Amino acid sequence: LEFYSISLLLELTKTAKFNIQPFLGELIPALLDAISDTEPEILNYVAARSSLAELEVLDDARAQIARTSPVMSAIHDLIPQIDGSVLVVLQPRLCEQLRSSVGSSTRSSCAQFLVLLALRQPQLLGDYPAQCGKVMEVVEKYRLFLYYFIIDKIFTALMSGIHDRNPSVRKNFASAISYMAKYATSVSMGRLMSAVLKSLIGEDESMKLSAKQILKSLSTNSTELLQNYSKLIIPYIFLETCQSDSLAATLLSNLMPMMSGRIWTGKEHLISAISVLFLSLTKEASKAKKQYAAAGLLACAVFARSLSHSKAADWLFEKVDENMRKVTRYR
């Protein structure tokens, strides 16, 4: 019976067209739930007996299958019909699914739905109220309502995935966050960056990885939003590159172009912070204890390479040459 019900819904999405719009607020969550409900039971059996690494591979595959499923294709076709009234009805159930849906495929599909919504309906999330043709006062009130009570609630629900124990869910939520961030309020963005920085300086490696995934996604999809936070982020990311972290190195290379070109608020503070950081590294590299000096030299090398910093490279060459002369002098 469930199979035939889903088949009927899929058929309706193709044939009913705009007649189905009043029901989208309830239909879309039902379709998202169906993605997990229609999965073969053997997948849950395998998942329950998998290690964390195996589970990540399995859930990545499940998320990929869900993206190309007939159900997700139907949701994709319904997105152009979503307007502000649909979003108001859709938001509570969608937030509930993002936070607590039992099926990881449904949660990942919810995140993918938001990515598609941001890509295909930017006018809805960004300036839909300005196009509704009502008087300006009503438009402004509607805009505030849409932002503070709808979009921010969705964004907050996405943030709950930052600390999810499922690595695949964290990756999918990071991607969705990067697309929805440009429509969230500055308060919500500030909360996100606070959570990211807290994870970066914490001891939990999985949370560090999650934070770097969010920053990498933001640097790819919403680069301009990171400019106000780059002076806080770059030092932490740089220190991670000193641990031979490939993701951190990629992220650093994405963030550093912010340093060039036009002047923007906070740029001078970032330049100052980087200068202080290099000064600290040179002090470590000049210490008498070999272990500290070696780590400092390695960090200076990473700094010079990652930032293409010629002065840092010159200092490093001189320091290595000085150390070599000291070694040969005592022989």
Can you point out the beta strands (E) in the chain? none
Q: Give the residue, 149 or 263, on which the prediction is more confident.
A: 149
Q: Give the residue, 292 or 176, on which the prediction is more confident.
A: 176
Total count of residues recorded for the chain: 331
Q: For the residues of 135-153, what is the DSSP string, one character each?
A: -HHHHHHHHHHIIIIIIHH
What's the pLDDT tens digit per position in 66-113?
998 989 999 999 999 998 889 989 999 999 999 998 888 999 999 999
For 93, the token pair is 């159930």
Q: Are 299 and 285 in contact, with CB atoms under 8 Å apart?
A: yes
Separation of alpha carbons 208 and 211, rounded Å = 5
Q: Are 240 and 276 in contact, with CB atoms under 8 Å apart?
A: no
Residue 148 is predicted with a pLDDT of 67
Residue 145 is predicted with a pLDDT of 62
What's the pLDDT tens digit per position in 271-282?
565 666 677 778
Separation of alpha carbons 82 and 21, rounded Å = 7
pLDDT band at 191 (very low <50, low <70, confident <90, very high): very high
Separation of alpha carbons 65 and 87, rounded Å = 26
Q: Identify the top-confidence range among 219-223, 256-260, 281-285.
A: 219-223
pLDDT band at 118 (very low <50, low <70, confident <90, very high): very high
Please compute the mean of the pLDDT values over residues 40-66 and round it to a whole number: 84
Q: Where are the domains of the chain?
A: 1-184
Residue 244 is predicted with a pLDDT of 55
For 63, the token pair is 């998320």
Q: For the residues of 86-149, what is the DSSP string, one character each?
A: HHHHHHHHHHHHHHH-S-HHHHHHHHHHHHHHHHH-HHHHHTGGGGS---HHHHHHHHHHIIII
**Which three-class secondary structure state does DSSP give residue 15?**
helix
Q: How open is the CA angle 94-141-24, to the nearest 5 degrees?
A: 30
Structural fold of domain 1-184: Leucine-rich Repeat Variant (1.25.10)
